[in-house]
Amino acid sequence: MARIALDIDSTLHPYWDLLQRIVLERYGVELPYEEQYEWGISALERDAVIHCVEESHSDDNILAGVPYENAVETVRDWHAAGHWIHVTSHRRAQTAAATARWLDRIGLPYDDLHCSFDKVTRCTELEIDVLVDDSPVNIVRAREAAQEAQKRARQQLQSFLLRHGRVYSGRSSWSLAHRRWISTLKFEHPAHLIVLQEYCQAVEDAEVRLRRLTDLIAETVRSWTMAPVVEAYQALRGVSLMAAVVFVAEIGDIRRFENPRQLMAFLGLVPSESSTGEHVKRGGITKAGNSRARRMLVEGAWAYRFPARVSRSKQAQLEGLPRTVREIAWKGQLRLCSRYRNMILSGKHKAIAITAIAREMAAFLWAIGQEVQPAHHA
Ligand SMILES: [Mg+2]
């Protein structure tokens, strides 16, 4: 039987809507969901954020929470099956009484309740097996939104330049040389230069935001219970830190898939001729989740166009990992590099070859995932 830790806000009920409403009423500020990545919300002063969060955790507000559809039923099933439930919420200790009353009101069974700003320590003490929490996914998705925004800002700048017949002849866009080239552009009409500057500023803002989120993820993932899994996945070629984080955030514990084929099916990476009659565990992860993970694999698959080798930075990373993980990663690299080459040589379309590689990457990640355990098991 598992020891399950369960987050409340945004996990059991739609908390962000409430916080957003309070912020709007008090300060007239919109608070997009993407801001949740960092409690240093930029649109408000720190004190204002604290006030709003506290108000969101007033007795009345706590008691008014409406659980997500099926949330209570799901936890009841877990409890009935003998799992041990630890409810943990990032809120003041003084809110515990109201929180307990709310849990009774909605009829959620639990064995232990903890309200504090340090969930992780308590989970470690309790030897929790699983933490059900919205936050890593939130961070990963906020970063994805920032990535999209950067892409849009860049496209707008590109098409402005194109409209004015300015075509960059250099090799890669957004390189230093490309940026220097943009900064030297002259326009007859001064207004055009102002517009260009605005587009450039928008690109820069988007880039800063994306970098900030990327740094935040790199920083927080270290304290994450899934940190050893994130580390191990990166042993595989084509899996960057961000890719590993996205994969873990979207897939959760990979050991819930009995075999690689189940995982491939879940990711939508099973060839159509063999996908009939396949039983797939859905495990409560959304369709959007698995398409994100799939996209990550497909992006990473491009790394196998080049011959097998271990780069210096990868080598350093590999050193701390279990031998079995390193062996799987190396076997994967040898196989996938030659597989890609053979497919291209036999006339297969690049996109087909890449999808085939992505599918096999999933299998190797599955194998790696069997070898490592989340931190609290250590
Ligand atoms: Mg939460």
Q: Where are the beta strands (DSSP E) in the chain?
A: 3-7, 84-89, 112-115, 130-132
Is the separation of the CB atoms in 216 and 37 below 8 Å?
yes
Q: What's the pLDDT at 25?
A: 93
Lowest mean pLDDT among 10-14, 79-83, 136-140: 136-140
178 with 125, same domain: the answer is: no
User: How confident is the model at residue 140, as a pLDDT?
Assistant: 76
Mark whether 105 and 116 lie in a shared domain. yes
The dihedral formed by the CA atoms of 360, 364, 365 and 367, expressed in degrees to the nearest 10: 140
- Confidence band (pLDDT; 50, 70, 90) for 137? low
| Tokens at 127, concatenated | 């030897």
| Number of neighbouring beta carbons within 10 Å of residue 278 | 12
Q: How far apart are CA 343 and CA 353, in angstroms?
A: 6
Kindly give the distance from the C-alpha atom of residue 99 to the centroid of ligand 1, in angstroms, as a whole number: 14
Mean per-residue pLDDT for 178-204?
93
Mean pLDDT confidence for 349-375: 93
- pLDDT value for 289: 45
pLDDT over 90 (residue 141): no
Question: How far does the centroid of ligand 1 lie from the alpha carbon of residue 6, in Å?
Answer: 9
Cα–Cα distance list, 230 to 81, 187, 217, 368 (Å): 30, 49, 12, 10
228 and 372 share a domain? yes
User: Are 112 and 176 in a shared domain?
Assistant: no
Which of 101, 133, 165 is where one domain is finished? Answer: 133
pTM, full prediction? 0.60
> What would the DSSP string read from start to end of 331-377?
HHHHHHHHHHHHHHHTT--HHHHHHHHHHHHHHHHHHHHTT---GGG
Q: How many angstroms separate the alpha carbon of residue 9 from the centre of ligand 1?
A: 4
Taking the centre of ligand 1 as the mean of its atom positions, its distance from the CA of residue 277, in whole angstroms, is 37
Distance CA 313, CA 100 (A): 49
| Cα-to-centroid distance, 90 and ligand 1 (Å) | 8
Judgement on whether residues 158 and 77 belong to the same structural domain of the protein: no
- Do residues 282 and 293 share a domain? yes
Ligand 1 centroid to residue 211 C-alpha, Å: 23
Q: What is the distance in A from the centroid of ligand 1 to the CA of 8?
A: 6
Query: 213 versus 82: which is more confidently predicted?
Result: 82
Task: Check pLDDT > 50 for residue 334.
Answer: yes
pLDDT at 274 over 50: no
Same domain (yes/no): 201, 119: no
| 92 CA → ligand 1 middle, Å | 14
| Alpha carbon separation from 134 to 234, 249, 310 (Å, rounded) | 23, 9, 35
* Domain encompassing residue 341: 224-377
Q: How many domains does the chain have?
A: 3
Distance 134 CA to ligand 1 centre (A): 5
Residue 370, token pair as written in the block? 């069997």
| Percent of the chain topping pLDDT 70 | 88
Q: How confident is the model at residue 279 (pLDDT cuts 50, 70, 90)?
A: very low
Query: What pLDDT score was predicted for residue 276?
Result: 42
CATH, residue 21: 3.40.50.1000
Residues 330 and 276 in one domain: yes
Distance 265 CA to ligand 1 centre (A): 29
